[in-house]
Amino acid sequence: MSKNKLYSLLLIACFFGYMYLGFSIFNAERNLNPGIKGCLFKNITTIPCPSCGTTRSIQLLIEGQFFEAGMVNPFGFIVAFVMLTVPVWIFADLLLKKQTLFNAYNKTEHFIRTKWIATILIMLVLLNWIWNIYKNL
């Protein structure tokens, strides 16, 4: 993947993530329930997916409730970190005419493709999924 394509995809993903988070916070503050839940997988199967609760986790992080955020879904920490750092990192790269994020992405992708690392990460996702099912998110 080219640097420009990666940066564009990441910025678009962050933009929509911010929009969805803002929509969720707006509805939560006004006790509105649009009747549609965000998880397509859960809407179809009635089983929560591994990322169910991530938005609620980020909302709790914003409120400073770190333990509760981790209990809802620990993926919220990762997503919040990415949503905060990636846009700043991209704009810094563009201003400084560097590609540090692109290089870090390539190194991370190479590292994750290591079989034992990939196995551990898959197991963590599966454990989180089992935990979400157990909590009946």
Q: Given this model, what pLDDT does residue 14 score? A: 95
Q: Given this model, what pLDDT does residue 36 score? A: 53
Residues of the chain with pLDDT under 50: none
CA–centroid distance for 28 within its chain: 19
* Closest of 2, 1, 17 to residue 87, by C-alpha: 17
The model's pLDDT over 77-93, given as tens digits with 9 standing for 90+, comes to 999 999 999 999 999 99
The model's pLDDT over 33-42, given as tens digits with 9 standing for 90+, comes to 555 566 788 8
3-state secondary structure of 84: helix
